[in-house]
């Protein structure tokens, strides 16, 4: 594999196929026999567990509690919010029967339900039903709830992690006494997502407001965090919705305010999903496979015992166990260092490459000669696959936490530089806009837009969409890049997942 | 509330209704608009999070990894194992359509699926499909997987936590090269459940083997942990199944063994669910509501500020915050102490009783006079609601971990004593058996049984079932209590949930 890459094709050759091959090579997930539904394998699920742990801690620190609501939603609930139902009716799994019987040697559905039920595509309506019981007085507010669960949206074109019929996510749902409090909550959770994406996933994101035609069905305002992948497409990584009183109206969530008057509550919802793993893969991986920022990696270090002769095996394994135990007592930024020893009886090269492809941050080789010198060979995944670093065991123990933090910083810095050099603010006219997006890997345009949906027709042929109006660094006065009309806000434009 | 109890009715008056009222008073869960599906509220879900954290740690320590498999299962998968399908077909939710359209102002299902899908009642068949791809050689074995997820069984008679149409659980699924290894795994996980139930939930359990007619559909052997509730009924708290090669055959899980021959793998599965919370409630609660063993409590200590005059509030609150912060730095048996301060503006009595009913292990009252003396009033939930203990803050900090451990031990000891005095080994004949179970709250009989299913007809009128043959302390030679025939194993008999 001298000058070859571990992943074929490379990013340049065929980006979508490269993505699938990285997932396969890192053993993250596989397609299942059920259309559009994937199996998340242990290494992929380990990443999700890290995401859950980090987010859950942040949700609790901001006052939220977890709860669990039914998987199935009555049709009558969905119908309560008109925009909501039209947004989700086209792609939901419908349960119509509650048993199977054998007929002519074949299992067929029986016991038709009086009212069909849908598998939750999101839970505003079923959670709203509970909130209508929980909230009676201003003393009951705010209600700050989060749910970790599976949801289904019957997507026609699916892609592992990015768009699957079933996915795992968290959905926050909150209820407030005033519009201001609900808006503050919406923005607080957007900021939680930004900080998490940048500090844990090492994925730089733009925080912004979605254009009005791309709001969550039923929302007053939708905020988002948007990331840029290595093919320069945008990925919406998370959303936070200010729902006004729309869902409170639909679900009848009312309370007696301090003046003794009955009011509808103000609600929010916010969510991120296993899609984040797709974004993580496409932000950091290279042509040798996955690269994991240490803070989201299920394991940080693999020790690869080098056993030149069978009779040295027990000594090498015992030494590796000792080093593993010592490294496991370390932590970085409060995260305990996770160490594994790969004792498989396979060729050393295959073994190393399997961990390179899995993206583990640090590999350590230890053989009899290293043991004699109390040293090891260290490899960092953010450097070339053959770039080795002889290290004494004493130095390894002293520097490992800082090495992991350095890898975290270096992956973030690379992603940030890549993104920032792929954003232009110099596109000012429709002509320039079209020239820019004639390139299939163009990046983002940041420009003023008049917010008229009809003006977007010009973008269709380029498959470009308005991503969001950034909350920070947004110039108020300008000229719409599409129509030349006066405009008061800048937006990001780009192709997207 | 001088001589009254906080829960009406009491256990003696109406046990099933008492159970519902304890759930309501502790704010653990509520019924939803979807038949048989409950909402798990934050205090109930907090208990589930503790259960998950403790079990997950044990599963990982025994070599298992988490993964995630599809919610929906094709009918053709279910049909592969004959006993399995007949066990689950009668109670499964069937998805038949993948969208909704409006017709005559009403939403109706559209887009009929070619093959209906069922919502997983358990995942042997869909996980087996993945295992058939993952397992090729003996080098791939063992495969040790666990999944945390929701499942559905369309039960006709439901009861919160104990039997619900949807419930949360974990399901372990493993694959081994030999029958012995699979059997060892089955028993290892049974032991994990026993240790967890006894040490964390403080629920004493009998580990046993299910009678052959009560095995998991498709299993060769089913082991279980059985607990006794305060109405002396049995609750099956968890099961561990040795599946032999039945499911490997059905799902085509084959491997090349060390001799180069192709063999079917040997598999196991094991699970516990939110039903454990039902068992926890019915083991420990009293006529004042829930009592939580500290190791499974979402919070261990509530501080109740006593504010006799409004002008003292800020001082009292500040002092309580200071004490809370100090207590939060403590831990017991590796579990960080969780402290909450209840600052609600409601009557002190109502506030105290709300926490008694929630079962929090320790309540601490702090008012201006306590602050003057650096002391507080401490109440333990395993003692009478008014049994108070004046404690200096220094003593509180020094003794809180041990106090929590003492409460844990005392709840276990009470439950163990109650159970053991409700088991008899002196019933030797059918006549004695009938006399014993004429009492609606009889307890368990441990006696020899000939294992003939027909002999159980005599038990029907008493609604008694064979629970399990205990793995420990089982006499091999004896006479069947039902038929008088020679028998080689003792079983527990009892009414059950």
Count Cβ–Cβ pairs < 8 Å, chain A vs chain B.
191
Q: CA end-to-end span of chain B, whole Å?
A: 32
Average pLDDT over residues A251-271: 97
What is the distance between the alpha carbons of residues A486 and A477, in angstroms, rounded to a whole number? Answer: 8
The residue in chain A having the minimum alpha-carbon distance to the alpha carbon of residue B37 is A70
Whether pLDDT at B462 is above 90: yes
Tell if the CB–CB gap between B126 and A33 is shorter than 8 Å. yes
CA B83 to chain CA centroid, Å, is: 26
What φ, ψ does residue B47 adopt, rounded to 5°? -65, -45
Strands B254-256 and B221-228: unpaired
**Length of chain A measured in residues:** 497
Of B70, B95, B129, the CB nearest to A94: B95
**How does pLDDT run across A388-437, given as a tens digit for each residue?**
999 999 999 999 999 999 999 999 999 999 999 999 999 999 999 999 99
What is the distance between the alpha carbons of residues A58 and A52, in angstroms, rounded to a whole number? Answer: 10
Q: Which residues of A touch B75 (CB under 8 A)?
A: 100, 107
Is the pTM above the cut of 0.90?
Answer: yes
Of A33, A41, A93, the CB nearest to B67: A41
Q: Which residues of B touch A108 (CB under 8 A)?
A: 116
Look-up: residue for tokens 């601490």? B364
Q: Which residues of A touch B85 (CB under 8 A)?
A: 100, 107
**Structure-token pair, residue B286:** 């009293």
Other C-beta atoms closer than 10 Å to the C-beta of A336 total: 11
Helix axes B313-328, B393-420, angle to 10 degrees: 60
Q: Which residues of A touch B46 (CB under 8 A)?
A: 65-66
Residue A202: the pLDDT is 98
Whether pLDDT at B1 is above 70: no
Q: Which residues of B touch A49 (CB under 8 A)?
A: 66
**How does pLDDT run across B160-169, given as a tens digit for each residue?**
999 999 999 9
Determine which of A95, A339, A342 to mutate to test the interface with B (most B C-beta atoms within 10 Å): A95
Asked whether the beta carbons of A461 and A473 are under 8 A apart, the reply is no
Asked whether the beta carbons of B175 and B137 are under 8 A apart, the reply is no
How many Å lie between the alpha carbon of B97 and the closest alpha carbon of chain A?
A: 5
Whether pLDDT at B3 is above 70: no
Residue B80: the pLDDT is 86
Q: Residue B181 half-sphere exposure, CB side, CA atoms within 13 Å?
A: 14
Whether pLDDT at A16 is above 90: yes
Tell if the CB–CB gap between B33 and A149 is shorter than 8 Å. no
CA distances from B50 to B47, B204, B440 (A): 5, 18, 34
Tell if the CB–CB gap between B100 and A92 is shorter than 8 Å. yes
The residue in chain B having the minimum alpha-carbon distance to the alpha carbon of residue A143 is B42
Q: Is A94 helix (H, G, I), strand (E, B) or coil?
A: strand
- As a whole number, the mean pLDDT across chain B is 96
Asked whether the beta carbons of B495 and B467 are under 8 A apart, the reply is no
**How does pLDDT run across A103-155, given as a tens digit for each residue?**
988 899 999 999 999 999 999 999 999 999 999 999 999 999 999 999 999 98
Tell if the CB–CB gap between B68 and A77 is shorter than 8 Å. no
Other C-beta atoms closer than 10 Å to the C-beta of B75 total: 19
Q: Which residues of A touch B34 (CB under 8 A)?
A: 70, 72-74, 117, 126
What is the distance between the alpha carbons of residues A257 and A177, in angstroms, rounded to a whole number? Answer: 8
Tell if the CB–CB gap between B100 and A94 is shorter than 8 Å. yes
How many Å lie between the alpha carbon of A320 and the closest alpha carbon of chain B?
A: 19
Tell if the CB–CB gap between A93 and B72 is shorter than 8 Å. yes
Q: Which residues of B touch A154 (CB under 8 A)?
A: 98-99, 111
Percentage of residues in chain A with pLDDT exceeding 70? 99
Asked whether the beta carbons of A34 and B72 are under 8 A apart, the reply is yes
Task: Name the pLDDT band for B494 (thresholds 50, 70, 90).
Answer: very high
What is the distance between the alpha carbons of residues A373 and B86, in angstroms, rounded to a whole number? Answer: 64
CA distances from B287 to B6, B145, B418 (A): 6, 41, 16
Tell if the CB–CB gap between B119 and A71 is shorter than 8 Å. yes
- Residue A366 DSSP symbol: E
- Architecture of the structural domain at B299-403: 3-Layer(aba) Sandwich (3.40)
Whether pLDDT at A77 is above 50: yes
Q: Is A276 helix (H, G, I), strand (E, B) or coil?
A: helix
**Structure-token pair, residue A293:** 């920022």
Of B40, B107, B129, the CB nearest to A33: B129
Asked whether the beta carbons of A340 and A320 are under 8 A apart, the reply is no
**Structure-token pair, residue B474:** 């089982």
- Architecture of the structural domain at A423-494: 2-Layer Sandwich (3.30)
Helix extents (H) in A253-367: 275-284, 313-327, 348-358
Determine which of A31, A37, A39 to mutate to test the interface with B (most B C-beta atoms within 10 Å): A39
Whether pLDDT at A176 is above 90: yes
Q: At a CB cut-off of 8 Å and minimum separation 6, what does A185 contact?
A: A142, A144, A174, A176, A268
Residue B175: the pLDDT is 98
Task: Name the pLDDT band for B46 (thresholds 50, 70, 90).
Answer: very high
The residue in chain A having the minimum alpha-carbon distance to the alpha carbon of residue B45 is A67
How many Å lie between the alpha carbon of A94 and the closest alpha carbon of chain B?
A: 5
CA distances from B445 to B53, B227, B469 (A): 35, 14, 12
How many Å lie between the alpha carbon of A345 and the closest alpha carbon of chain B?
A: 9
What is the distance between the alpha carbons of residues B335 and B228, in angstroms, rounded to a whole number? Answer: 27
Q: Which residues of B touch A77 (CB under 8 A)?
A: 33
Other C-beta atoms closer than 10 Å to the C-beta of A452 total: 12
Look-up: residue for tokens 């060390």? B258
Q: At a CB cut-off of 8 Å and minimum separation 6, what does B171 contact?
A: B122, B123, B146, B147, B149, B151, B269, B270, B271
Cis-peptide, bond into residue A9, ω within 30° of zero: yes
- Residue A338 DSSP symbol: P
Tell me, which fold does domain B15-284 have in CATH?
A: BirA Bifunctional Protein; domain 2 (3.30.930)
Residue B439: the pLDDT is 94
Tell if the CB–CB gap between B72 and A129 is shorter than 8 Å. no
Q: At a CB cut-off of 8 Å and minimum separation 6, what does A309 contact?
A: none
Stretch (H or E) spanning A150: strand A143-152
Residue B266: the pLDDT is 98
Of A71, A73, A91, the CB nearest to B99: A91
Q: Taking the domains of chain A in order of start, what are their residue ranges?
A: 15-284, 299-403, 423-494
Whether pLDDT at A3 is above 80: no
Cα-based angle B477, B482, B484 (whole degrees, multiple of 5): 55
What is the distance between the alpha carbons of residues B171 and B169, in angstroms, rounded to a whole number? Answer: 7
Look-up: residue for tokens 């009899």? A368
What is the distance between the alpha carbons of residues B40 and B166, in angstroms, rounded to a whole number? Answer: 11
Determine which of B46, B47, B59, B72 to mutate to test the interface with A (most A C-beta atoms within 10 Å): B72
Average pLDDT over residues B260-266: 97
How many Å lie between the alpha carbon of B80 and the closest alpha carbon of chain A?
A: 12
Assign 3-class secondary structure to chain B.
CCCCCCCCCCCCCCHHHHHHHHHHHHCCEEECCCCCCEEECHHHHHHHHHHHHHHHHHHHHCCCEECECCCEEEHHHHCCCHHHHHHHHHHCCEEEEEEEEEECCEEEEEEEEEEEEEECCCCHHHHHHHHHHHCCEHHHCCEEEEEEEEEECCCCCCECCCECCEEEEEEEEEEECCHHHHHHHHHHHHHHHHHHHHHCCCCCCEEEECCHHHCCCCCCEEEEEEEECCCCCEEEEEEEEECCCHHHHHHCCEEECCCCCEEECEEEEEEEECHHHHHHHHHHCECCECCCCHHHCCCCEEEEECCCCHHHHHHHHHHHHHHHHHHHCCEECCEECCEEECCCCCCHHHHHHHHHHHCCCEEEEECHHHHHCCEEEEEECCCCCCCEEEEEHHHHHHHHHHHHHHHHHHHHHHHHHHHHCCEECCCCCHHHHHHHHHCCCCCEEEEECCCCHHHHHHHHHHCCEEEEEECCCCCCCEECCCCCCEECCEEEEECEC
How many Å lie between the alpha carbon of B163 and the closest alpha carbon of chain A?
A: 14
**Structure-token pair, residue A273:** 């999903």
**Structure-token pair, residue B489:** 């194993």
Strands B444-448 and B423-424: parallel
Asked whether the beta carbons of A419 and A237 are under 8 A apart, the reply is no
Task: Name the pLDDT band for A1 (thresholds 50, 70, 90).
Answer: very low
Tell if the CB–CB gap between A93 and B38 is shorter than 8 Å. no
- As a whole number, the mean pLDDT across chain A is 96
* Nearest alpha carbon to residue B198 among B278, B281, B293, B117: B293
Tell if the CB–CB gap between A33 and B95 is shorter than 8 Å. no
Average pLDDT over residues B131-156: 96
């Amino acid at each position: 594999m001298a000058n070859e890459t571990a992943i074929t094709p490379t990013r340049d050759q065929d980006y979508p196929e490269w993505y699938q091959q990285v997932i396969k090579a890192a053993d993250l997930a596989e397609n299942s026999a059920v259309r559009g539904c994937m199996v998340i394998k242990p290494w992929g699920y380990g990443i999700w567990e890290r995401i859950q742990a980090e987010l859950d801690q942040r949700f609790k620190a901001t006052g939220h509690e977890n709860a669990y609501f039914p998987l199935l939603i009555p049709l009558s609930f969905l119908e309560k919010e008109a925009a909501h139902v039209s947004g989700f009716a086209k792609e939901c799994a419908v349960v119509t029967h509650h048993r199977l019987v054998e007929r002519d040697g074949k299992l067929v559905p029986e016991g038709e339900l009086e009212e069909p039920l849908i598998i939750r595509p999101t839970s505003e309506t079923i959670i709203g039903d509970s909130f209508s019981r929980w909230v009676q007085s201003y003393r009951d507010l705010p209600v700050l709830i989060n749910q970790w669960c599976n949801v289904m949206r019957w997507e026609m074109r699916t892609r592992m992690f990015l768009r699957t019929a079933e996915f795992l996510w968290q959905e926050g749902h909150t209820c407030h006494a005033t519009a201001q409090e609900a808006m503050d909550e919406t923005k607080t959770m957007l900021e939680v997502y930004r900080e998490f994406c940048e500090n844990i996933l090492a994925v730089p994101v733009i925080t912004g407001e979605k254009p009005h035609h791309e709001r969550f069905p039923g929302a007053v305002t939708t905020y988002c965090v948007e990331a840029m992948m290595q093919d320069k497409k945008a990925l919406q990584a998370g959303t936070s919705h200010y729902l006004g009183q729309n869902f409170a109206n639909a679900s009848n969530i009312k309370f007696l305010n301090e003046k003794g008057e009955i009011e509808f509550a103000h609600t929010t919802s916010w969510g991120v999903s296993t899609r984040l793993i797709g974004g993580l893969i496409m932000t950091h991986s290279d042509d040798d496979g996955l690269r994991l920022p240490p803070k989201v990696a299920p394991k940080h270090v693999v020790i690869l015992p080098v056993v030149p002769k069978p009779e040295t095996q027990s000594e090498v394994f015992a030494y590796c166990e000792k080093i593993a135990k010592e490294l496991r007592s370390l932590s970085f930024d409060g995260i305990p260092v996770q160490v594994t020893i790969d004792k498989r009886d396979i060729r050393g090269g295959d073994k190393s490459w399997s961990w390179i492809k899995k993206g583990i941050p640090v590999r350590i080789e230890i053989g009899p000669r290293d043991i004699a010198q109390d040293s090891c060979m260290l490899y960092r995944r953010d450097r070339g696959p053959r770039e080795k670093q002889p290290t004494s065991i004493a130095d390894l123990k002293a520097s490992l936490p800082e090495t992991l933090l350095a890898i975290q910083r270096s992956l973030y810095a690379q992603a940030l530089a890549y993104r920032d050099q792929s954003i232009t603010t110099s596109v000012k006219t429709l002509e320039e806009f079209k020239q820019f997006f004639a390139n299939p890997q163009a990046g983002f345009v940041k420009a003023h837009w008049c917010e008229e949906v009809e003006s977007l027709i010009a973008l269709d042929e380029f498959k470009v969409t308005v991503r969001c109006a950034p909350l920070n660094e947004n110039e108020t006065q300008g000229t719409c890049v599409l129509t030349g009309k006066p405009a008061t806000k800048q937006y990001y434009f780009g192709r997207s997942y």
